[in-house]
Amino acid sequence: MSSLRYLALQELASEDKKIAHYGGKKITAMFGSNVFTGRAMRECLSDEAYKSLMNSAKSGSKIDRKMADQIAAGMKAWAEERGVTHFTHWFQPLTGTTAEKHDSFFTIKSDGTAIELFDGDALIQQEPDASSFPNGGIRATFEARGYTAWDPSSPAFIMEAGHGKTLCIPTIFIAYNGESLDYKAPLLKSIGALEKAAVDVCHYFDKNVTKVTTTLGWEQEYFVVDETLANARPDLVMCGRTLVGHSPAKGQQLEDHYFGSIPDRVYEFMQDFEQESYKLGIPLRTRHNEVAPGQFECAPIFEEVNIAVDHNSLLMDVMNKVAKRHKLKVLLHEKPFAGVNGSGKHNNWSLATDTGVNLLAPGKTPRTNLMFLTFFVNAIKAVHDHADLMRAAIASANNDHRLGANEAPPAIISVYIGKYLTEVLDEIETRVKDKFSEQDEVILKLDIHKQIPELLMDNTDRNRTSPFAFTGNKFEFRAVGSSANCGSPMTVLNTIMAESLKSFKADVDALIEKGEKKEIAIMHVLRDYISKSKKIRFEGDNYSEEWAEEAKKRGLNNFKTTPEALDAFVTDAAKKVFFNNGIYSERELEARHEILLEEYVKKVQIEARILGYIATNHILPAAVNYQNVLVENVKGLKDLGLGESSYKAQLNLLKVISEHIQQINDNVEPMIEARKKANNVEDMHKRASMYCNEVRTYFDKIRYHADKLELLVDDKTWPLPKYRELLYLR
Ligand code: ADP
Ligand code: MG
């Protein structure tokens, strides 16, 4: 019988998997057509309801029940006109994917008449009966009372799947006592905290600022493989990454994929998922090949961070769905292939005022430049003070493969700012003295300003190895994993920035109270922050061995694994900063810590199971069968009376294969034992550490021998699609 691999390869060779063309439509004609926003709201809502919803979206003001009923009725009318029959509260639990529970509008009244109903209650709150979503002990499973609550700041949208259409209401997911169980609730809190702190600091420079918006533009990397080939690999199906597989003769060394044109089938897929995204209001802008073969990237125009996070979650979902139509599989995993670049998700982050100023863009006057420097230096200080939280925010079993693998930023958090800004900060640090002096005014008015406009020419001065790089008018958090929910890193970044700005304001106010001039006081506090946060700044090659050593000398942490990295969430410092800014209570933090550890355990556990299974049920039989062929061959040659020299090579090969079989066997068994041992440990941190330091150590050993066998066994009978097939055949 042919292996799945062979059937998949045959199918790929015979069938034209291309489907209809998707390009050619004008983007503006479809953009946002499935989103309840702007014109749709105006058309379907009364003036009163429209205003109430707009106000709530803008300033978070409450919407009363009566108004909610009106809005729900408007939404329903709008949705039904488009063929929608069901609605769902759409949320982002800590499992890392999105969740939905569909209800139909259809209901039966007490007198038996069937009607379509969607009222304010259904819009505002639902109980998704979500006992199996992770809750870290916050909500005992038997209580099963988590609630989803409407987030009016993110517009409702229609999700199309097959012939069905569903009205999706973006919601937060919380326990009955209000503790958060998702990514969105803390994100919204962090946005509020940062807005308040940033507006307060803006008032030093411009009293007209009443709102500061956090902006995010993500860049999403992903792999695309043929679906039938992927389905022939249990590891890709169950874990999203390959656990075995020898690297192909041709990898990414030629970099021809990066500069090449997009393969046809992928191009059709891209246009298709882009169209679906446009309908959902996701403003995708760029698409291109990435460095590794089979790897691609897309990025939107940046948006307000809450919307941007929703849009990224939605996009990942859309990509997965649309890929099926093209008989392709999208791999969002951080490291689907060993020896080939992994995938990240750069998070470009900035702050904008309602007066139209990007607070991380250098200004044109001494005053606006001082404002820029204030936010710029505070961001660096925030990362310096809470680097471990930044690391924890991006920690996952998947991302561990990437951070520190000489292709992505290392697990050491540092900030890159470029040559010019380094000079500016150095200048402030050396020229502004501890004591206030006449000289201060000159430095402030002339010298700082003189240097900054040169920044505009700084665009080429890029450092692609830094985990957190300033790129001219925003910071780019590059260490985020490709499958991550951006809510986690954004919540941390917003929170620590809010904290930094609050202490900045307190420090400046203290000096002003002592009689210092405002600008001079600001400059002195900035100088203090620059010098205190110096060790987090690094301009060199983050991939180098020297940096790991240098960072160690500087006292910067290098947490290479998730269990270690996650501990930063439950330190006293973390509890303080999250509590002070109203993001998490101590209990919520501890629950979250536990959930993330459990998530890690489950991931590694599944991988260990699948690896054991593949090794035993796929690879060993293939090797043994090939040995049988060799044995027959040797016997035959012997029967013919040929001497040993005629079958020496075969005998040798038999021996080598036996050794690899033995080694695989010798490692699979103890891996299973290690797993059992870990499973019996109650303490989640300890269990995660055991999975990390014991169970996982067998992965590479087993893989090594499996990959050797791949090179020895007859290609025709090898059961798993090979790297060259997955990466190059479409
Ligand atoms: P790159 O060279 O890294 O591809 P781009 O200029 O193409 O840089 O921008 C990458 C991402 O950064 C895009 O999603 C873009 O919208 C986003 N971006 C640009 N300006 C801002 C900003 N002020 N705030 C947040 N994101 C931004
Ligand atoms: Mg980038």
pLDDT in the model for residue 206: 95
Q: Whose CA is nearest to atom 26 of ligand 1?
A: 217
CA distance 249 to 389: 40
Let me know if residue 8 belongs to a domain. Answer: no
Within 339-446, residue ranges assigned H as helices are 366-385, 387-393, 397-400, 419-431, 439-442
What angle do the packed helices 305-325 and 264-279 form, to 10 degrees? Answer: 130
User: Which carries the bigger pLDDT value, residue 453 or residue 359?
Assistant: 359
Evaluate whether residue 593 is within a structural domain.
no
H, E, C per residue of 573-634: HHHHHHHHCCCCCHHHHHHHHHHHHHHHHHHHHHHHHHHHHHHHHHHHHHHHHHHHHHHHHH
- Those residues whose C-beta lies under 8 Å from the C-beta of residue 679, and which sit 6 or more positions away, are 605, 687
Q: What separation in Å is there between the alpha carbon of 351 and the centre of ligand 1? A: 13
- For 288-310, the pLDDT digits (tens) are 888 788 999 999 999 999 999 99
* % of residues, the chain, pLDDT over 90: 69
Centroid of chain to Cα 278: 21
Parallel, antiparallel or unpaired: strands 415-416 and 164-175? unpaired
Which ligand is nearest the CA of 287, by number? 1
pLDDT tens digits, 516-567: 999 999 999 999 999 999 999 999 999 888 999 999 999 999 999 999 999 9
Q: Which ligand is nearest to the CA of 217?
A: 1
CB-CB contact of 475 with 496 (8 Å): no
Which atom from ligand 1 is nearest to the alpha carbon of 302?
A: 16
Structural domain containing residue 513: 191-584
Residues 6+ away with beta carbon under 8 Å from 662: none
- Atom 11 of ligand 1, residue of closest alpha carbon: 217
Residue 207 has pLDDT above 80, yes or no: yes
Instruction: Kindly state the average pLDDT of the residues 722-728.
Output: 92
* Domain count of the fold of the chain: 3
697: three-class secondary structure by DSSP: helix
Instruction: Verify that 27 and 166 share a domain, yes or no.
Output: yes
Indicate if 228 and 336 belong to the same structural domain.
Answer: yes
Both 467 and 335 in one domain: the answer is yes
For the CA of 473, the closest atom of ligand 1 is 23
User: Ligand 1: which atom is nearest the Cα of residue 301?
Assistant: 16
**The tokens of 101 are what?**
């529970």
- Residues 646-684 have pLDDT tens digits of 999 999 999 999 999 999 999 999 999 999 999 999 999
**Residue closest by Cα to atom 14 of ligand 1:** 217
Asked whether residue 378 carries a pLDDT value surpassing 50, the answer given is yes
**643 in the same domain as 554:** no
Write the residue with the smallest CA distance to atom 13 of ligand 1. Answer: 217
DSSP track, 220-235? EEEEEEEHHHHHT-HH
**DSSP class of residue 333?**
-
146 alpha carbon – ligand 2 mean position (Å): 37
Q: Are 361 and 317 part of one and the same domain? A: yes
Asked which of 182, 205, 220 is the last residue of a domain, the reply is 182
> Is residue 590 a part of any domain in this protein?
no
More confident residue, 255 or 663: 663
For position 280, which CATH number holds? 3.30.590.10
Judge whether residue 59 has pLDDT over 90: no
How far does residue 219's CA lie from ligand 2's centre (Å)?
7
Q: Mark whether 267 and 389 lie in a shared domain.
A: yes
Q: Determine how many CB atoms are found less than 10 A away from the CB of residue 554.
A: 15
Which of ligand 1's atoms lies nearest the C-alpha of 286?
A: 7
- Name the closest-CA residue to atom 22, ligand 1: 350
Same domain, residue pair 536 and 671 = no
- What average pLDDT does this structure show over 107-132? 79
Please determine, for residue 24, whether its predicted confidence score (pLDDT) is greater than 90.
no
Longest dimension (CA), the chain: 106
Q: What is the mean pLDDT of residues 684-701?
A: 96
Q: Which ligand is nearest to the CA of 473?
A: 1
- Ligand 1 centroid to Cα of residue 169, in Å, is 28
Question: Which residue has a Cα nearest atom 2 of ligand 1?
Answer: 471
348 C-alpha to ligand 1 centroid (Å): 6
End-of-domain residue from the set 147, 182, 217? 182
Q: What is residue 451's predicted lDDT score, i.e. its pLDDT?
A: 62
Residues 173 and 214 in one domain: no
Q: How far lies 641's CA from each of 630, 646, 649, in Å?
A: 17, 10, 17
Residue 442 pLDDT exceeds 80? no
Round the average pLDDT of the chain to a whole number and report it.
90
Q: Which residue has the higher pLDDT, 4 or 236?
A: 236
pLDDT at 149 over 70: yes
Q: Dump pLDDT digits (tens) for 577-593.
A: 999 999 999 999 999 99
Tokens standing for 673?
């034992």
Q: Give the number of the atom of ligand 1 that is nearest the alpha carbon of residue 360.
A: 23
Per-residue confidence (pLDDT) for residue 142, from 0 to 100 = 43
**Which amino acid residue places its CA nearest to atom 4 of ligand 1?**
219
* Listed residues: CB within 5 A of ion ligand 2: 346
Q: Output the CA–CA distances (angstroms, integers) from residue 590 to 1, 214, 688, in the order listed.
A: 52, 27, 15
**More confident of the two residues 150 and 250:** 150
Which residue has better confidence, 728 or 462? 728
| pLDDT mean over 458-477 | 82
Distance 120 CA to ligand 2 centre (A): 42
Query: What's the half-sphere exposure (Cβ side, CA atoms, 13 Å) at 508?
Result: 25
Ligand with smallest separation from the Cα of 353: 1
CA 74 – CA 77 distance, rounded (Å) = 5
pLDDT value at 239 more than 80: yes
Tokens of 291: 């460095």
For residue 530, the CA-to-ligand 2 centroid distance in Å is 25
Half-sphere exposure of 550 (CA within 13 A, CB side): 15
Report whether pLDDT(16) > 90: no
Residue 592 within a domain = no
**Residue where one domain finishes, among candidates 541, 558, 584:** 584
Q: What is the pLDDT of residue 248?
A: 82
Q: Which residues line ligand 1 (CB under 6 A)?
A: 215-217, 219, 299-302, 348-350, 358, 473-474
9 in any annotated domain: no
**Rounded to the nearest whole angstrom, what is the distance from the C-alpha of residue 475 to the centroid of ligand 2?**
10
- Please report the pLDDT score of residue 536 as a whole number: 98
What CATH number is associated with residue 91? 3.10.20.70
Q: Which residues does residue 352 pair with via DSSP β-bridges, in sequence order?
A: 213, 358
* Per-residue pLDDT at 636 exceeds 80: yes
Concatenating the DSSP letter of every residue in 551-569 gives: HHHHT-----SHHHHHGGG
Q: Which residues pair with 288 in a beta bridge?
A: 297
Q: Which ligand number lies closest to the CA of residue 346?
A: 2
Is residue 229 included in any domain, yes or no?
yes
- Residue 369 pLDDT: 87
Ligand 1: which of 315, 473, 474, 494 to mutate, judged by most atoms within 8 Å of the beta carbon? 474
- The rounded Å distance from CA 286 to ligand 2 centre is 11
Residue 317 in domain: yes
Question: Does 225 lie in the same domain as 116?
Answer: no
285 Cβ partners below 8 Å, 6+ apart? Answer: 299, 300, 301
Q: What is the position in ligand 1's atom list of the atom closest to the CA of 219?
A: 14
Label residue 700 exposed, middle or buried (CB < 10 Å: 0-12, 13-18, 19+).
exposed
Is it the case that residue 453 has pLDDT exceeding 70?
Answer: no
Angle, vertex CA 487, rays to CA 485 and CA 493, nearest 5: 130
CA of 204 to the centre of ligand 2 (A): 32
CA of 216 to the centre of ligand 1 (A): 8
Q: Which atom of ligand 1 is nearest to the CA of 348?
A: 26
Nearest ligand 1 atom to alpha carbon 350: 24
Q: Are residues 346 and 285 in the same domain?
A: yes
The answer to whether residue 245 sits within a structural domain is yes
Hey, which of 302, 471, 486 would you mutate to test ligand 1's pocket, going by the most ligand atoms within 8 Å of its Cβ?
A: 302
Residue listed under structure tokens 């459990």: 598
Question: Which pLDDT score, from 0 to 100, does residue 141 have?
Answer: 45
Which ligand number lies closest to the CA of residue 475?
A: 1
385 and 507 co-located in one domain: yes
Q: 214 C-alpha vs ligand 1 centroid, how far in Å?
A: 13
The predicted model gives 701-714 an average pLDDT of 97
Q: Are residues 536 and 637 in the same domain?
A: no
Distance from residue 468's CA to the centre of ligand 2 (Å): 11
pLDDT digits (tens, 9 = 90+) for 335-364: 999 988 899 999 999 999 999 999 999 887
Enter the DSSP assignment of 246.
P
Ligand 2 geometric centre to CA of 403 (Å): 17
pTM, entire model: 0.94
pLDDT tens digits for 406-420? 677 889 999 999 888
Per-residue pLDDT averaged across 191-198, rounded? 97
First to last CA, the chain: 24
- CA–CA gap between residue 310 and residue 303 (Å, rounded): 10
Residue 723 reports pLDDT greater than 70: yes
By most ligand atoms within 8 Å of CB, the mutation choice from 307, 345, 348, 477 for ligand 1 is 348
Ligand number with the minimum distance to the CA of 409: 2
Domain of 653, CATH number, reads 1.20.120.1560
